[in-house]
Amino acid sequence: MTTTIEPELVHRAARGDRSALAALLADVRPGLLRYCRARLGRIGGAYTTADDVAQEICLAVLRALPRYRDQGTPFSAFVYAIAGHKVADAQRAAVRASAVTTGDPPLETPDAEPGPEQRAVATDLARRLSVLLNRLPEAQREIVVLRVAVGLSAEEVGTIVGMSAPAVRVAQSRALARLRTLAGDTLDEVAA
């Protein structure tokens, strides 16, 4: 959702126009998927949970759409407010479920996914990035995720987090500088 969604499209979708609903979901889903993947990361080397949460957010947006009223803020603020709540719910559920783990059943067909080494490297990098992001204050983390992972404009992010666009840019710059400092040699390490 790197472009602003047309208010007319949102209005038509809210009235139940099926083609507008499809177009609206096509516009918001890619950004929601990136947002969920950035906030939830990979579990077991896959983005399954993040993808499921993105789908739940799409459904929640569809359910809430008839009640949506344009109050002068971008539609993305409405969408990402819902997304923030759903991601928080998913994080709480993951913490509760972390005590109970089950093994995957054996595969019956050859796996077309990346091999164990590639998955291990990708998972390790994602873990390291997640650890670094978690060391940022919540507001900076949210700004980095929305700006970098989702690709929203500073104006859209400002509306979502309650800041002006210039303040978002400054906070993003400070957050990225902090991440560079925190990263140090962490991301350059090579496993022996």
User: Domain segments of the chain: what residues?
Assistant: 7-98+116-188
Q: Among positive and negative, which fits the CA dihedral 14, 17, 20, 24?
A: positive
Question: pLDDT in tens for each of the 192 residues of the chain?
Answer: 445 678 899 999 999 899 999 999 999 999 998 898 888 876 655 566 888 999 999 999 999 999 888 888 888 889 999 999 998 888 887 777 665 555 656 556 666 677 777 777 777 777 788 888 889 999 999 999 999 888 889 999 999 999 999 999 999 999 999 988 888 755 555 443
- Predicted local distance difference test score (pLDDT) of residue 50: 84
Q: Which two tokens stand for residue 100?
A: 């109970």
How far apart are alpha carbons 158 and 20 in whole angstroms? 26
CA distances from 113 to 1, 40, 117 (A): 28, 20, 11
**Domain 7-98+116-188, CATH number (from 3.20.20.370, 1.10.10.10, 3.40.50.10090, 3.40.190.10):** 1.10.10.10
- Predicted local distance difference test score (pLDDT) of residue 40: 83
Q: Which two tokens stand for residue 111?
A: 């796996």
CA distances from 106 to 6, 23, 117 (A): 47, 39, 19
User: Cα 106 to the chain's mean position, in Å?
Assistant: 31
- Predicted local distance difference test score (pLDDT) of residue 63: 93
CA distances from 130 to 82, 97, 127 (A): 22, 19, 5
3-state secondary structure of 189: coil
pTM: 0.61
Amino acid at 45: G
* CA atoms within 13 A of residue 71's CA, in its CB half-sphere: 6
Nearest CA to 31 among 178, 123, 160? 160
How far apart are alpha carbons 57 and 78 in whole angstroms? 11
- Predicted local distance difference test score (pLDDT) of residue 118: 77
- Predicted local distance difference test score (pLDDT) of residue 151: 87
How far apart are alpha carbons 21 and 112 in whole angstroms? 34
What secondary structure letter does DSSP report for 43?
Answer: B
Q: CB count, 10 Å around CB of 95?
A: 9
